[in-house]
Amino acid sequence: MADRRCPEAVAALVDLSRLPGAWSCAVLLLLLTGCGKPETSPVAADIVRPALIREVGTADNGAKLRFPGRVRAERRAELSFSVPGFVTEFALNEGSRVKVGQIVARLEDGVFKAQLNAAQSEFERAKTDLERYQRLWESELAVARSEVDDRRARLEVARTQLATAQQNLDDAVIRAPFDGVITRRRLEAFANVQANQPIADLQDLRALEIVINVPERIVRNEYAQDVGQAVFEGQDALSVPLRLKSYAAEADPQTQTYEIVLALGSPPGGLKLLPGMSATVIPFAGTVKSSDAPLVVPLTAIAADATGDRSVWVVGAGGQVARRTVRTADVRGSDVVITSGLQPGERVVVAGVSALREDMKVRPLDER
C-alpha cells in the first residue's frame, strides 16, 4: 500500500541501502511517520433525491363533496331493569312491534313483594306508635316532646322505605316508553341480570335521521335549512332530502370532527330505510363555502406507524422533509380528507414516503 499512498517513500527506499545501518533506520522511521496519515477526501455534496411532490389543496365545492353517514331512529332507547334479578318473562323477538306501556320483560318479583309487605308493616307500626305518643304528650302524661319527635322521624324513615320497596316492585317490569320496534334483543329469558344492564333496543321507525362527521372547516348551516340529499347503496337513482337538525358544539377528541344530525325527509316509494343502514350525504352546491372546503391529499402521501398514527412528509422551503402527524376523515376516490395537521399551500411528498428520513433533501421530480 506504501507505493500508492506515499510514492515519495518508495523512491527514497532505493537509496537507503547505501546509508549506514543506524542512519537508514532513522530515515525510514521519518518516512513512515509521514505516510501514516491517510489522504483527506473532499466532503461529498448533499444528495438531493427526486420526489413526487404535491401542494395541499381543497376538495371541489358543491355536489362533488361526499360524506358517509348512518341511519338511526330519532326516538330510540336501551331497555333495562333498574334493579337486579332473574328474568322470568321476555317473549318479544327482534322485529316485534310494541305499544307504549306494553310489558316487554319481567323479573321474578317474589323478593320484591316480600320487601314491600315488610315495609308496609313497618310503616303501619311507626304510624300507630307516633299516634300513641302524640296522644300521651297532648294529655300531659310522662312523655317528652323529644320522644314524639323521635317517633315522627321513625315514621318518615318507614315511609321512605315503603316508597323504595314499591318502586323496586314496579321496576321489576319493563314497559315500552313509546310505540316502536324491538331492533335488538340482548338477553334471553331465564337469565340473571344486573341493574341497568341493557336487555333490548327499542326504536321508533316512523322518524329517521342520518348522522355524519365532518371536518371543522366545513361551515355549519342554520337550523332547519335544506342542506342536501342522501343516497343509499344500490339505490343511487332515489334520493331523500335532508335538513339540518343539530350539530355538536365540540369536536370529537379522537377524530377532530363534528357530529352533525340531519333529519330525513319522506323517502320515495320503493325505498325502505332502517336504522343502521349506510348512506352517502351530498350537500347542495353552495352549502359549503369554497374557503371552508376540506383539505385533501393523495392517499399515497399518508404513512402509518405501528400504533396507527398517520403522518405525511412536508417539504420545507429548503427542500428538506419533516414528518408531521395528521388526522384523516373519509376517502374520496384517490384522495383522503385531512381534518388537522396541514394548511392550504403546504407541499407534501406523495410517493415513496416509506424511504424518506428526517431532514432528507428532495426536489420535484420534474426538476433537474
Segment 238-290, tens digit of pLDDT: 889 999 898 888 888 887 788 999 999 888 877 889 999 999 998 876 666 55
Q: Which three cell numbers stand for residue 158?
A: 318507614
Q: What is the mean pLDDT of residues 25-29?
A: 45
Comparing 10 with 352, the larger pLDDT belongs to 352
Q: Which three cell numbers stand for residue 307?
A: 400504533
Provide, rounded to the nearest whole percent, the portion of the chain with pLDDT above 90.
Answer: 50
pTM equals 0.60
How far is residue 335 from each of residues 75, 295, 302, measured CA to CA in Å? 36, 10, 10
Residue 12 reports pLDDT greater than 50 = no
Residue 292 is predicted with a pLDDT of 59
Tens digits of per-residue pLDDT, 195-216?
A: 999 999 999 999 999 999 887 7
Residue 11 is predicted with a pLDDT of 46
Residue 14 is predicted with a pLDDT of 44
Q: What is the mean pLDDT of residues 63-82?
A: 89
Q: What is the mean pLDDT of residues 227-238?
A: 82
CA distance 221 to 2: 83
Tens digits of per-residue pLDDT, 153-185?
A: 999 999 999 999 999 999 999 999 999 999 999
Residue 135 reports pLDDT greater than 80 = yes
Give yes or no for a contact between 53 and 350, defined as CB atoms under 8 angstroms apart: yes
Backbone torsions φ then ψ of 13, nearest 5 degrees: -65, -25
CATH domain 63-74+207-292 topology: Elongation Factor Tu (Ef-tu); domain 3 (2.40.30)
Question: C-alpha 6: how far from its chain's center?
Answer: 69
* Residue extents of the structural domains in the chain: 2-35, 51-59+294-364, 63-74+207-292, 76-201
Residue 316 reports pLDDT greater than 90 = yes
Binned at pLDDT 50, 70 and 90, residue 354 comes out as confident
CA distance 102 to 305: 52
Q: What is the bridge-based pairing of β-strands 97-98 and 85-89?
A: unpaired
Angle, vertex CA 71, rays to CA 67 and CA 73, nearest 5: 145
Residue (of 350, 283, 327, 341) closest to 59 by Cα position: 283
Question: C-alpha 247: how far from its chain's center?
Answer: 16
Question: C-alpha 276: how far from its chain's center?
Answer: 17
Q: Of 32-41, 139-148, 321-330, 351-360, where does mean pLDDT reach its minimum?
A: 32-41
Give yes or no for a contact between 297 and 339, defined as CB atoms under 8 angstroms apart: no
Give yes or no for a contact between 313 and 357, defined as CB atoms under 8 angstroms apart: no
Taking domain 51-59+294-364, whether its CATH number is 3.40.1360.10 is answered by no
Residue (of 331, 365, 338) closest to 68 by Cα position: 331
Q: Is the dihedral of CA 170, 172, 173, 177 positive or negative?
A: positive
Comparing 139 with 167, the larger pLDDT belongs to 167
How far is residue 336 from each of residues 125, 231, 260, 296, 299, measured CA to CA in Å? 73, 21, 20, 5, 6
Q: Is the dihedral of CA 84, 87, 89, 95 positive or negative?
A: positive
CA distance 280 to 70: 8
Residue 19 reports pLDDT greater than 70 = no
Angle, vertex CA 106, rays to CA 104 and CA 109, nearest 5: 160
Comparing 219 with 306, the larger pLDDT belongs to 306
Binned at pLDDT 50, 70 and 90, residue 23 comes out as very low
Please report how many Cα atoms fall inside a 13 Å half-sphere around the Cα of residue 135, on the Cβ side.
Answer: 5
> Same CATH fold, 76-201 and 63-74+207-292?
no
Residue 153 is predicted with a pLDDT of 97
Residue 277 is predicted with a pLDDT of 93
Residue 302 reports pLDDT greater than 90 = yes
Q: What is the bridge-based pairing of β-strands 180-185 and 208-215?
A: unpaired
Give yes or no for a contact between 216 and 253, defined as CB atoms under 8 angstroms apart: no
Residue 368 is predicted with a pLDDT of 57
CATH of domain 76-201: 2.40.50.100
List of residues 6+ apart from 67 with CB closer than 8 A: 212, 213, 214, 280, 281, 283, 330
